[in-house]
Structure 1
Amino acid sequence: MKLFATTALLAGLFAAGPAFAADTYEIDPTHAWVGFKTKHGPWANAQGTFKTVAGTISFDKEDVTKSSIELTIEAASIDTNHEQRDTHLKSPDFLNVEEFPQITFKSTAIEKTGDNTAKVTGDLTLAGTTKPTTLDVTFNGEAALPWDANVIKSGFSATGTINGIDFGIAKMADFGLGPDVALEIDFEAIKK
């Protein structure tokens, strides 16, 4: 009787077909852009980018809520098109890159909001402070490279806003910055 029950259970599992598993992707550092802008007094938005970005995505296309992302940004790769300003932004007044060399984001929850959109909430660690942060993410599409059908890429865009003061960057106010910082992220990720 036990043998019959076990056989029936196995037959049922195989008849149901294989369960869909999330695919793993590595962010392509040559096609990753993390931009930011913040108000600079009454004049304009100060803008910049981080040049060194890496990360891993577990992407379940059947149930996006089961997906996850881990993103790592080298804080010292900040570029605002002005070397003296970049040096100051790397100092303890702002990012304190010697003590906190990496900015990280690790997703904790994903809520599907449309056919190709989701709200991704995660723990953002910046300048030694970790806060929950939500990004609006769009899945732009997936395709093989035209010159190499073995390389499949997915593309994503994300936006969000953080408050620099909340992350302990109190000097922002002294320089007429922020406090809100708008994030604009675009990257391509290679399927493994």
Structure 2
Amino acid sequence: MKRLILATAVAGMFMTGAAFAADSYEIDPTHAWVGFKTNHAGWTKAHGAFKAVSGTISFDKADVTKSTVEIALEAASVDTNDEKRNTHLKSPDFLNAEEFPQITFKSTSIEKTGDKTAKVTGDLTLLGTSKPVVLDVTWNAESALPWDANTIKTGFSATGSFSGADFGIAKMADFGIGPDIALDIDVEAIKK
């Protein structure tokens, strides 16, 4: 009986350790940059960014495939360096920020591609439509803040792309932009 209790306790410790192998992080909104660019009538690439970014990361360093990420962007925070254009992008012609205030990405699978790289597949939800998007992600570094040893920060960079038409942004072609939108993401996240 004592052996059974001891075996159960040991098994419980291992199962608990496995369950808590991933560390939890919260994206630091003051150190998060989500940029995008798209063709502008063949002249150049038009650039923009979302200024309000939040999210969480569950990062399992021992088995990155068990990690998860969720990111939310406030559609009304779009910034393209021109207020008139920003207002138009927030309208029903493009992001329809009033009806769909958030753009989200939730990971569904992760494939390790190198020591610090992975392909993260997730559901991008934009204008009420969810479609899979693949991001190429690099884990940059993790360390304590130089002025606060109790605060651990980790950082990631990611790139990817999607077609605006797939999400119902039908007016892109009317304004000579797109069809693809390239993403450039850098986030720092604080360990909870």
Shorter-chain TM range is over 0.9
Provide the residue aligned with 2:43 in structure 1.
Answer: 43
TM-score relative to the length of structure 2: 0.94
Provide the residue aligned with 1:113 in structure 2.
Answer: 113
Q: What are the equivalent positions in structure 2 for 1:94-113 lying under 5 Å apart? A: 94-113=94-113
Provide the residue aligned with 1:66 in structure 2.
Answer: 66
Q: Deviations over 1:107-164 (max 9, x none)?
A: 1101101000001011100122110111000000100000110110000000001000
Provide the residue aligned with 2:8 in structure 1.
Answer: 10
- RMSD (CA atoms): 1.6
CA distance in 2, matches of 1:103, 1:59: 22
Secondary structure, in 3 states, of the residue corresponding to 1:166? helix
Matched positions, count: 190
* % identity of equivalent residues: 71
Amino acid corresponding to residue 6 of structure 1 in structure 2 = L
Secondary structure, in 3 states, of the residue corresponding to 2:98? coil
CA distance in 2, matches of 1:16, 1:107: 27
Where does structure 2 lack aligned partners over 5 or more consecutive residues? none
Provide the residue aligned with 1:178 in structure 2.
Answer: 178
CA distance in 2, matches of 1:128, 1:11: 47
Amino acid corresponding to residue 170 of structure 2 in structure 1 = A
Kindly indicate whether residue 50 of structure 2 is the aligned counterpart of residue 34 of structure 1: no
CA distance in 1, matches of 2:6, 2:146: 46
Q: Deviations over 1:31-84 (max 9, x none)?
A: 000000000012010000000000000000000000001100000000000000
Change (3 A) 1:154 1:126: same
Provide the residue aligned with 2:92 in structure 1.
Answer: 92
CA distance in 1, matches of 2:14, 2:121: 33
Secondary structure, in 3 states, of the residue corresponding to 1:115? coil
* 1:12 Cα offset (Å): 4.8
CA distance in 1, matches of 2:26, 2:44: 35
Where does structure 1 lack aligned partners over 5 or more consecutive residues? none
TM-score relative to the length of structure 1: 0.94
Provide the residue aligned with 2:52 in structure 1.
Answer: 52
CA distance in 2, matches of 1:102, 1:188: 20
